[in-house]
Structure 1
């Protein structure tokens, strides 16, 4: 082809690039106006992930719901998508006997999540009140564990799961 200019091709190329930029991006409004799973399906997935995480903890701990399962608005979605979507969040307190090996919880979860292909999004294991949060790269669901040292010998441990932004009924609300 050489250096010969072909204005028609340049216009066509620009049109293709512009179209891909508007529809092919996961951050654009057009891409996120697509159907998603429903909030009920997101709640089921969050619960599944939290139960799988609980199964990786040292034996002896129990889960106790902490707060209500809830949907929260994606008012300021980090993905740049449209308003009207929500995310689902569930929290559990991990209760355990005093001799429960809490020091094994975070390393064990980190290994489990790594084997499952999760991406670490917040690793504060070196702090006095450690936290570790991960996200599944294929579906955007997140799980975290937060540990709070209270009085000497007293620990509060929480498992938190959340979904990516979804449409409540799986499709955008009619405008």
Structure 2
């Protein structure tokens, strides 16, 4: 009778341990990612690569809200608690610069690199093109705002996929 209670106790302990592990989400479900700092570096890299494709004379000027933001509604089906990094730039250029070539030039460049089109609104009065690098999920977009005749504003925005701020989830 003592051995039977011992086996039952061991079995109960194993079940409780298994349930406790699975209730915590399990480490098998959570994959490490790059850190938010590394994601910011990659976002900056793709923005600088895009900038280098534009005709000479254009400069990137920080614009809007940038930095680490909560990944509240991840579209990748991954766990909550992650962040993404976004950086926004206005493309400043001299009056004689060929602003009408910015979007077609970047579209050709991204197509040559096999970036996936996420949103193509090039036929609008204020055209926009958003693409994603299929290798790592980083996105970049260019938006052209045609203001008053002869006045154009161009913006480049880059963003990371959802990542853990420190590469792994914070311990609970």
TM-score range, shorter chain: 0.7 to 0.9
Residue aligning to 2:40: 43
Alignment match of 1:154 (pick from 148, 151, 154) = 151
Query: Which whole-Å CA distance do the structure 2 matches of 1:31 and 1:118 have between them?
Result: 30
Residue aligning to 2:93: 96
Once the two structures are superposed, the pairs formed by residues 2-151 of structure 1 within 5 Å of their partners are 33-151=30-148
Query: Which whole-Å CA distance do the structure 2 matches of 1:108 and 1:38 have between them?
Result: 31
1:171–1:77 distance in 2 versus 1, CA, 3 Å: same
Residue aligning to 2:17: none
Contact 2:44 2:158 in 1 (8 A): yes
**How far is the alpha carbon of 1:67 from its aligned partner?**
2.8
Query: Which whole-Å CA distance do the structure 1 matches of 2:39 and 2:66 have between them?
Result: 11
Q: Summarize deviations over 1:43-94 as a string: whole Å, max 9, x none.
A: 0000000000000111221111113531111111111211110000000000
1:134–1:30 distance in 2 versus 1, CA, 3 Å: farther
What secondary structure sits across from 1:55 in the alignment?
helix
**Larger Rg over CA atoms:** 2
Alignment match of 2:160 (pick from 155, 160, 163) = 163
1:91–1:60 distance in 2 versus 1, CA, 3 Å: same
What secondary structure sits across from 2:53 in the alignment?
coil
Query: Which whole-Å CA distance do the structure 2 matches of 1:99 and 1:127 have between them?
Result: 24
Q: TM-score, normalised by structure 2?
A: 0.81
Q: TM-score, normalised by structure 1?
A: 0.80
Question: How many residue pairs are counted as aligned between the two chains?
Answer: 147
Structure 2: segments with no counterpart, 5+ residues: 1-25
